[in-house]
Structure 1
Amino acid sequence: MTLDAVAREAGVSPATASRALNGTTRVREDLRERVHVTAGRLGYIPNAHAQALAGSTTNRTVGVICHDVSDPYFAAVSSGVMRAAAERDLLVMLASTFREPAREIAYVSMLRAQRARAILLIGSGIQDRAWERAMDAELAPYVRLGGRVAVVSRHRSLRVDTVRPENRAGAATLARTLTGLGHRSFAVLTGPPALTTVSDRLAGFREGLAEAGIGIGRVVEGAFTRDGGYAAARRLLACDGPRPTCVFAVTDVMAVGALAALKEAGLRVPQDVSLAGFDDIPLVRELSPALTTVALPLTTMGEDVIALALRERTAGQRSRVVRVTGEVVVRASTATPPVGV
């Protein structure tokens, strides 16, 4: 079935049929309806590549670039994006950078070439001026030509619309909650310090402890993964000196690995050591014990970021920020420390 056949059957020119199916506004509503009904009856499927070439405003593709879609955090946010995109009849192209900054910039360049309607960056920014300049060099011309960009938990130097979890404030509240349980000895398992999510959560946790006159204790760095949390916890347990009564992993995924390492070492959670995370990925509610964490509305964040990208902006309008507050959820992995510890 061809476009010409649809045009003949609908009684319009091929150009009008093409504009109607591509979504342009330069077609009367009655003609648009007639063409769509005819195309549906004849089983005509528009050529997606041809639609993309017709102009970025008609492209139905949204690009989502995240660190690792196998990570439950990114899977949950991406799920929200896809759900909202489906409601708008948009196609989502999903790519994982595996936390390689150069790969992220390359993917943005590819999406520009594909004339994607919007580009969504999901995941922590990197505190690196060269990376920031390279990313801005890709995004700025894309936006000037009508492309839409929005980000989740991204570095503040990018001048784009942002869904920003209050990582610092959430970590500070968690610290206050844990000191309220009576803990005075802590250790923190962190990811790479160049990631802004790491620096914000570590700074917030330190601030919350300082309010109670407590130092942060040992800080052990690991990969932002389950295996990274496991390895970091193993290194922590191998350190000399008293064992902390509470361990904070800056992501739930790291906390899952840490829990395995603690159990492997013969430690009971929370009887011997308490454990807390951040994000509230669905998995942590099913752990034994269930994990205390700072809950973020991950799926809603995905819905918010695509809505932000597609929302019209006025000329000269500053970048918009949707702030997301985390809520501390106390579960069975934390308890009052043992007497005398």
Structure 2
Amino acid sequence: MTRPVGKIRDVAKATGLSIATVSRVMNGGKNVSPNTRDKVLAACKQLNYLPNPAARALSTSRSKTVAAIIPTIEHSIFAKYIASIEHSLAQRGYSLVIAISHGDLDEELAAAQKLLGMGAEAFILSGADHHPDLLDLFTQRGVPHVYSSIWQPASAAPSIGYDNTALARAAMDYLTGHGHHHIAVLHGPLTESDRTRDRQAGAQAAQRDGLTLDFHETSLDVAGGKAATRALLQSANRPSAIFCFSDVLALGALFALSEAGLRVPEDVSVMGFDNLDWSGETAPALTTINLPATRMGAEVGTQLMDHLDNGTPLGPVRLDGAIVERASVAPVTRRG
């Protein structure tokens, strides 16, 4: 049975507050005590009251809507990140709208134009590579925006994310510290992602005497990881370790090595990047790099709301990732 929809005056009556105070809470207004906010939100839930977004926008000139344009929703790290943003925004009465760019700058531009037409007040973009027309559009209209999943203090907009270069370098140091001196590196298309290019730079920075690195570009999916691993196994000089710039590529590598009758990590070590939800459940469990997706989502959401509500300046934030040691990497001395 459908519950009747309450009205703002019903909430005011139930809480003993004025309609103006209830309205201020629902619009994320200032000078509202936590106790008052909690009382109003509880009454709204009990009375099934939701403010009309169109009416709110007309009365306040605010849509309280933030847009996020991401390359894909297929990988759990993006789902975790988006869920964190939405949770952060909801605490203060904001809504989140999402568009998928498929890593295409023209698609991203078209999506942003559409979302601006829908009233989006601020934008969250992945990485720092964007269509120049998009950045011009934001500048002309004064649209607040941040870059996520990347750390570039000198970028055109504030970056809130992790240092992909440093994390890739840390992974290489970890592998060489385990005695690996011939490492294959699997990565997605370099032209589609500055995050991938940063990780490549980090891996290359680890180059030293006696270390052989083989870079293999492939599609950013399990099939791409399998195909690239099959190809590198054709070499007479098989690498002792495979470092993948994504866990999905690492999963493909695990499948290909198993099909070839090779043991992980006894014959070949495998390391990923992302720490996707399932990475601890592979056989063997995948050693990888954990990315702070949940913390990043909360930081992005909070910064944009503080800016929109209070004029607080947006600023870059570097978040730390960490190596997660599991069972897919072993010292070379343990190889059979």
Q: TM-score range by the shorter chain?
A: 0.7 to 0.9
Post-superposition offset of 1:85: 2.0
Measure the CA separation in 2 of the matches of 1:26 and 1:332. Answer: 51
CA 84–4 in structure 1, closer or farther in 2 if over 3 Å, else same = closer
Q: 1:65-104, aligned counterparts within 5 Å?
A: 65-104=69-108
CA contact (8 A) 1:162 1:305 kept: no
Superposed CA deviations along residues 99-138 of structure 1, whole A, max 9, x for unmatched, are 22211111111221122233212x3343xxxx44122023
How many angstroms apart in 2 are the aligned matches of 1:241 and 1:267? Answer: 15
Give 1:215 deviation, angstroms. Answer: 3.2
Change (3 A) 1:315 1:253: same
TM-score, normalised to structure 1's length? 0.80
Report the CA distance between 1:61 and its aligned residue.
2.0
Work out whether residues 125 and 155 of structure 1, in 8 Å CA contact, stay in contact via their aligned partners in 2: no
Q: Distance in 1 between matches of 2:93 and 2:137?
A: 26
What are the superposed Cα offsets for residues 273-321 of structure 1, whole Å, 9 maximum, x if unpaired? 000011212211111111111222221111111112222389896x511
Measure, in 2, the Cα distance between the counterparts of 1:74 and 1:4.
36
* Residues 1:48 and 2:53 aligned together: yes
SS, match of residue 262 in structure 1:
helix
CA 1:77 to 1:42, structure 2 compared with 1: closer, same or farther past 3 Å?
Answer: closer
Q: Does structure 1 retain, via aligned residues, the 8 Å contact 2:138–2:144?
A: no
Taking only aligned residues, the RMSD between alpha carbons, in angstroms, comes to 3.6
- Identify which of 218, 232, 239 aligns with 1:222: 218
* Pick aligned residue for 1:262 from 257, 260, 265: 257
- Code of the aligned partner of 2:189: P
Q: For the residues of structure 2 that align with 1:26 and 1:298, how far apart are their CA atoms? A: 29
Q: SS state of the match for residue 278, structure 2?
A: helix
Identify the residue that residue 174 of structure 1 maps to in structure 2: 171
Amino acid at match of 2:55: A
One-letter amino acid matched to 1:282: D
How many angstroms apart in 2 are the aligned matches of 1:66 and 1:136?
Answer: 16
Report the CA distance between 1:167 and its aligned residue.
1.0
Q: Give, in whole Å, the separation in 2 of the partners of 1:47 and 1:158.
A: 37
Q: Distance in 1 between matches of 2:71 and 2:184?
A: 26
Distance change (3 Å), C-alpha of 1:315 and 1:309: closer
- Secondary structure of 2:51's match? coil
Separation (CA, whole Å) in 2 of partners of 1:151 and 1:186: 31
Identity %, equivalent residues? 30
Give the SS at the match of 1:285.
coil
For residue 187 of structure 1, report the CA deviation from its aligned partner. Answer: 0.6
| Cα distance in 2 between the residues matched to 1:305 and 1:241 | 48
Separation in 2 of the partners of 1:152 and 1:133? Answer: 18
* C-alpha displacement of 1:43: 6.3
TM-score by length of 2: 0.81
* 1:55 CA drift (Å): 4.9
